[in-house]
Structure 1
Amino acid sequence: MSENNQLRDVFDAIADPTRRRLIRLLAEKDEIPLHELTVQFPMGRTAVSKHLTILKEAGLVLDRKVGRETRFRLNAAPLREIQDWVAFYSKFWSVNLMRLNQFLEEEEE
């Protein structure tokens, strides 16, 4: 768990393509009402709400009530965990490809 006291793993939360699309939509605007998000998907409001709940449990989505409407916005901070994980393996591959290149150059000589 990170310092955000997340209830759900960020990797688990972004594993679903629908949730990744929700994150993308939320990244494009400051705040989006649930009804505007729902029309973007071939599923009902309840299904979209369930996906948003999973993202919320991972700390990726924040919501607030405005009258009878719920508006959602992205909290990208938990994505840092994924960025750090990918960066580690990016460095791993970069180093190993450099070693392979050196090996191949030595073999040519």
Structure 2
Amino acid sequence: MVKYQDDALDRTFAALSDPTRRALLARLGEQDGLSVSELAAPFPVSLPAIMKHLDVLTDAGLIVREKTGRTVSCRLTAQPMEQAMNWLNRYAQFWSEKFDRLAAFVEEDTWPMQPSTPIPAQPLPQPNVQASRSRAGSARGRKKSTPPGRKPRS
């Protein structure tokens, strides 16, 4: 089995898996260069919790933090997101081709026509009564089997 390993891509998807981190990225997408306290303001979590989320985003390379005096501001970086989009686009193209082929198959005019009148049901065959009696007679004369691992008594 082939193992595809790209740590940067793994970190990107792991960072994007959390809704709070996605919301932080969305806020930075609307207004780049927000301070940490401005980013944290609308969230009902503590500032240390937001800092941990920002650490994950920084480790994934999705944001860059810059300190000016006592203020730390954050801004988006594009490269990790571009790599993730390229990876997703390969699979989007694959599935798009599959769905296009399925749609073409479904839309073909070569489907067999449905009969307008129902086909009458065939009667089911009746069991052979003679055969069932002969089986019952032979079942009486059978020897009982012994459990596995035991020898029959003589």
- TM-score range relative to shorter protein: 0.7 to 0.9
Q: Does residue 68 of structure 1 match 2:43?
A: no
Larger RCO (CA within 8 A; separation ≥ 6): 1
Cα distance in 2 for partners of 1:47, 1:101 equals: 48
Query: What is the alpha-carbon root mean square deviation over aligned residues?
Result: 1.8
The Cα of 1:30 is off from its aligned counterpart by: 2.4
> Match of 1:10?
12
Question: Secondary structure at the residue paired with 2:43?
Answer: coil
Question: Secondary structure at the residue paired with 1:59?
Answer: coil
1:96-107 mapped onto 2 (5 Å cutoff): 96-104=98-106, 105=108, 107=110
Identity %, equivalent residues: 37
Structure 1 length normalisation: TM-score? 0.86
Partner letter of residue 98 of structure 1?
D
Asked which structure has the greater CA Rg, the reply is: 2
Runs of 4+ in 1 over 4 A off after TM superposition: none
Aligned counterpart in structure 2 of residue 108 of structure 1, from 111, 114, 133: 111
Structure 2 length normalisation: TM-score? 0.63
Question: Secondary structure at the residue paired with 1:43?
Answer: coil
Task: Tell me the matched-pair count.
Answer: 105
More helix by share: 1
Cα distance in 1 for partners of 2:110, 2:103 equals: 10
> Match of 1:23?
25
Cα distance in 2 for partners of 1:87, 1:21 equals: 23
Task: Give ranges in structure 1 of 5+ residues lacking alignment.
Answer: none
The Cα of 1:102 is off from its aligned counterpart by: 2.4
1:16-55 mapped onto 2 (5 Å cutoff): 16-55=18-57
Question: Per-residue displacement from partner, 1:2-38 (whole Å, max 9, x unpaired)?
Answer: 7xxx5x7101011000000011111112200011011
